[in-house]
Amino acid sequence: MSEKVKKRTLILDIANHLEVSIATVSLVLNGKAKQSRISDAVAQRVLAYVNEVGYKPNHIAKSLRTGKTHVIGLVVEDISNPFFATVAWMIERQAFERGYRIIYCSTDNNPEKARELLTMFHERHVDGYIIVPSEGIEEEVTNILREHTPTVLFDRFLPNLPTNYVIVDGAQGTYQATLHLLAQGFSRVAFVTTDSVQTQMEARLDGYTKALAEQAMAPKVRRLAVTKDTEKVIADIQEFLQANPEIDALIFSTNYLSIYGLEAIARLKMRIPDDVAVISYDDHDLFRLYTPAITVIAQPIESIARNVIDILLDELKHPHAKDTSLPQQILLQTELVVRQSSIRKKAKTTVVRKKTLHS
């Protein structure tokens, strides 16, 4: 015979056992004993018995009473990507310390999947949203804002919507990276990116083209389709390099494109940086361990996570303040981490005048 499932202890059971009212037990459990003039002796009896029987509150019932679930929906592009995984982990840790739980999902940059995930979170009555927006979900985000549900975007934003967001100055990052390569004597710098028109991708391209324009140099850009077919991406990068043998430096707009690019370069038996220098936007553990180590445009991951959760929890704590205040929009800076992949062994004496990019 199977073991019987242990009956769940209810507040009513606690009240009956201690011969006090249900209201008294509820007030003690919610930390309102003193303001409700419940004696310390009674409060201690309730807490001691609750601990003895291992009472666990019914969070669903509590959320129906308070209108709060203490759950936040986090929607990212790809949770397996080290950047999004690390940001999500940091957000989850900080949210947990403040009494909130995170449910996160990946959209794979698929608008239909993103819409389904946002609908699911809405049906679960999450208290707030943290979203890396895919293309084509402006209507869904607009509906969330109309309901006055606290929402923060990160990594990218929706230009036509007045939302809270935390982004990184990708244009300045690629601008500085391009100038670094030119200063090292590389004169045919190419940029490999995706065919996405999302704000963060366009900004990274803008920084590269601006740096070359200041030196009266023509850009060389290869846009690749967003696909899970890694072999196709690697082959496309190989073809690009073979068709443009003058290229002596590459900037990749994402870390996963950089990894595919390193594979393409290896297959062509090209040497880094002797034959072609390499810089990646976004760091990765592989880049530190690779030989030679890969120069990166590093994003301030900890600062991104801290700002995102601070903005969201501030709105959750002061729900009416957001009705009269402007959205909080934060722009953070990248850091160029120079490693061997972008250092010319015998640097030319090319002098590049550094300027500040105003984006």
Cβ atoms of residues 153 and 199 within 8 Å: no
Residues 283 and 305 in one domain: no
Cα–Cα distance for residue pair 160/255, rounded to 1 Å: 28
- At 260-277, the pLDDT tens digits run 999 999 999 999 999 999
What pLDDT sits at residue 322?
60
What pLDDT sits at residue 62?
52
Give the count of domains, the chain: 3
| 5 located within any domain | no
Q: How far is Cα of residue 112 from the mean position of the Cα atoms in its chain? A: 20
Tally the residues of the chain.
Answer: 359
Residues 210 and 92 in one domain: no
What pLDDT sits at residue 31?
73
Tell me which residue of 268, 202, 275 sits closest to 236, measured CA to CA: 268
State the CB neighbour count (10 A cutoff) for residue 56.
9
Residues 295 and 306 in one domain: no
| 90 located within any domain | yes
| Model confidence at 60: pLDDT above 80 | no
| 80 located within any domain | yes
Residues 175 and 277 in one domain: yes
Select the more confidently predicted residue: 63 or 141.
141
Residues 79 and 158 in one domain: yes
CATH number for 288 = 3.40.50.2300
Cβ atoms of residues 119 and 141 within 8 Å: no
Cα–Cα distance for residue pair 247/323, rounded to 1 Å: 52
∠ Cα 323 328 334 (to 5°): 170
Burial class (CB in 10 A: 0-12, 13-18, 19+), 103: middle
| 127 located within any domain | yes
Bridge partners, residue 71, by sequence: 101
Residues 141 and 195 in one domain: no
Residue pointed to by tokens 């739980």 = 101
> Could you give the dihedral angle defined by the CA atoms of residues 170, 171, 174 and 180, in that order, rounded to the nearest 10 degrees?
-130
| 356 located within any domain | no
CATH number for 46 = 1.10.260.40
| 4 located within any domain | no
Residues 45 and 117 in one domain: no
**SS3 letters across 75-98:** EECCCCCHHHHHHHHHHHHHHHHC
Q: Using DSSP, state whether 271 is helix, strand or coil.
A: coil
Residues 179 and 294 in one domain: yes
Q: How far is Cα of residue 354 from the mean position of the Cα atoms in its chain? A: 30
The bridge status of strand 295-298 relative to strand 335-337 is antiparallel
What pLDDT sits at residue 2?
39
- At 173-208, the pLDDT tens digits run 999 999 999 999 999 999 999 999 999 999 999 999
State the CB neighbour count (10 A cutoff) for residue 237.
24
- At 13-55, the pLDDT tens digits run 888 888 888 888 878 877 778 878 899 899 899 888 888 887 7
| 351 located within any domain | no
| Model confidence at 348: pLDDT above 60 | no
| 353 located within any domain | no
Residue-range definition of the domain harbouring residue 282: 170-299+336-342
Model confidence, pTM: 0.78
Residues 174 and 163 in one domain: no
Residues 198 and 233 in one domain: yes
Residues 268 and 328 in one domain: no
Residues 120 and 231 in one domain: no
